[in-house]
Structure 1
Amino acid sequence: MNLAPSPDQTEIAASTAGFLAKELPISRVRELAADPRSAVIDEETWSRCADLGWLALSLPEEQGGVGLGLPEEVMLFRELGRGLAPGPFRSSVLGARVAALAGETSLAEEIASGNRRVGMDLGGVAIDARPGDLLLRVEENGGTLSVVVDAEPTPGVDPCTRFSRVTTTGTVVQIEGPALMDRARVLAAAELLGIIEAICDMSAAYAQTRTQFGKAIGSFQAVKHRCADMAIASYATVGQVFQAALLVEAGAPDAAFHASSAYVLAVNGARTSAADNIQNHGGIGYTWEHDAHLYLKRAFLLERLLGPQRNSYRAILAPERHEF
């Protein structure tokens, strides 16, 4: 199995990174997040992202999609995580797939074109949901879409994500089977991988320029070991995420095991790396003005995005035997 990205997949990542750096740098994300009652991504930018095909990469062409697959979506979400991109990307991508699998082609096209956003139900609270939007609920054995009637803002851990308590209508679309949860875990793992890589670069750069006692702090054992641990977390996660993407896309019998393994590995790596990144930056790393805390908070959100972690561990422990 070749886990190396193809030139086309690499181009997806490069174009995504370039767009985010120009149109949605973290300074702009902070501006959008400053008003807690507004959307964290404006309509014009959201439409441009949809026009680039970000919401439709894996949808079949006959349903308004690009006709690619989960590995290409992984390349996209890796960059979205690295750039702390705001907005309901993951829920809209998954929501379009729910609609497509249910045979609701017009709804899938509406979501993929950016004309209909999809928020996500976390159980008692929703993220990135507005009145009139759809709301996605991902479960271990399927998923549903409903319509948001009312959304009352509520505080949340991630300032770049909108949290609310919502009222919805009945189920509009429903599908069954574990494939949706597997896909959701892989996409969340890809975002977390991007976070690990971003904060590894951030810590390494700071360790080379910040001096203490006449030496760069990267020469001190405690600091360089933390940076090395971040790099190892990145290297360990990237292979598992890419393998899981290929197996989930192929509908392999052990897809759930690999998707859950990628998610757990990415969650643990991002949580530890984000905390170590703040430690490496010392006093400045704890300030609101520094970006380190934004990565930590996004990692906390993604850790709780798909329900209790014990569910992922159950999927890992479920098979009696694995074939490699």
Structure 2
Amino acid sequence: MMLAPSAEQQNIAESVADFLSSEVPMTTVRRLWNEERSVDDKTWRRSVEMGWFALSVPEEAGGVGLGLGEEVMLFREVGRFATPGPFRATALAAYLASRTGNTEVLAAILSGEQRVGLKVGDQALDAHPGDLLLELDDEHPRIYEIDTCTPLVPTDPGVRLARASVGKVVVEAAGVALLSRARVLAAAELLGVIEATRDMSASYAQVRRQFDKPIGSHQAVKHRCADMAVGAYAVTAQVFAAAVSVSEAHPDAAFHAAAAHVLASARARRATADNVQNHGGIGYTWEQDAHVYLKRALTLELSCGSRQAGYDALIAPERHEFR
């Protein structure tokens, strides 16, 4: 990826969007809230067939042989459709397994046999007994076997939250910048959330009328929509720059990855709240989809650790070399 997506990368995004819009629309997302797993087996199998988890795995290891830029385009659409499921953690785990040469774990992930939850502090996202669990330690990322899970009540109904007890470590690595990669992909999902809420607000502002005028003609609403659009542009630039930096292992890659996640989190927090406000009274209702994106933004913000950890990564370097 350069600072703008290539035609091939745009094609990946379009194919993902076509699939999610037809196979995992919001009606399906809401139905899955009541299921044991956050994503059904059919959707999982289709994602495996489309190579979602193999994008950054070398061809000689059974992957597609592309990279982080392509994964950014994928997860931007996952965020745009508020798609539930441990897709990002599983893609990161596949990349880690390929880097360590663990062919057994890699094969289980690429075949769809294993799903991978994400360890965040003392909690686990989308973890299930018998699955795997990824820990994003900055120095030594690990993948564990999951023994048991004690369910907790999540803020985001599209995520299964639990306290997980783990078994043996099946993959462990040193010198793999997995946390930076995770921050870039979480930022890409957040970008999709921002763009989705921007479009929801802009569309509603054109059809909802007050005082015989579309509400989009009123200064307060139009300014919020404009701020959402500006935020989307800013986050897009930083996410793409971070993807290039991490892919090419630039000296300041950790800084750019943290910057992408911090900026995307802040802008998504504001955009999702403004989207609720733009929809007025219906924006607060369970039936309206505004709350789905607000809750997803909060989950994604904390999926790479605490907010302070992101700020610490921004102020850690004494000197930055921008290329």
- Shorter-chain TM-score: which interval? over 0.9
Listed as ranges, the gaps of 5+ residues in structure 1 are none
| Structure-2 separation of matches of 1:94 and 1:323 | 27
Code of the residue aligned with 1:295 in structure 2: it is Y
| Structure-1 separation of matches of 2:83 and 2:192 | 11
Superposed, 1:37-116 pairs within 5 Å as: 38-116=36-114
Asked whether the 8 Å contact 2:38–2:85 carries over to 1, the reply is: yes
1:178 to partner: Cα distance: 5.8
Asked whether the 8 Å contact 1:55–1:114 carries over to 2, the reply is: no
Asked whether the 8 Å contact 1:151–1:166 carries over to 2, the reply is: yes
Match of 2:237 in 1: 239
- What's the secondary structure of 1:248's corresponding residue? helix
Asked whether the 8 Å contact 2:109–2:115 carries over to 1, the reply is: yes
Code of the residue aligned with 2:139 in structure 1: it is N
Superposed, 1:295-306 pairs within 5 Å as: 295-306=293-304
| Structure-2 separation of matches of 1:270 and 1:140 | 25
Q: Give the RMSD, CA atoms, in angstroms.
A: 1.1
Identity %: 55
Superposed, 1:175-194 pairs within 5 Å as: 175-177=173-175, 179-194=177-192
| Structure-1 separation of matches of 2:320 and 2:115 | 39
| Structure-1 separation of matches of 2:163 and 2:317 | 37
1:323 to partner: Cα distance: 2.4
Tell me the number of residue pairs that the alignment of Structure 1 and Structure 2 aligns.
Answer: 322
Give CA deviations for 1:100-138 in whole Å, capped at 9, x if unaligned.
Answer: 122102211221221111011112211111111000110
Tell me which of 311, 317, 320 is aligned to 1:319: 317
1:177 to partner: Cα distance: 3.0
Code of the residue aligned with 2:168 in structure 1: it is G
| Structure-2 separation of matches of 1:284 and 1:58 | 41
Normalising by structure 2, we get a TM-score of 0.97
Match of 2:140 in 1: 142
Match of 2:18 in 1: 18
Bigger drift between 292-301 and 100-109 goes to: 100-109
Give CA deviations for 1:4-52 in whole Å, capped at 9, x if unaligned.
Answer: 11110000000000000000011111011123xx112111210111100
1:142 to partner: Cα distance: 2.8
Code of the residue aligned with 1:200 in structure 2: it is R
Asked whether the 8 Å contact 2:86–2:116 carries over to 1, the reply is: yes
- What's the secondary structure of 2:141's corresponding residue? strand
Match of 2:215 in 1: 217
- What's the secondary structure of 1:298's corresponding residue? helix
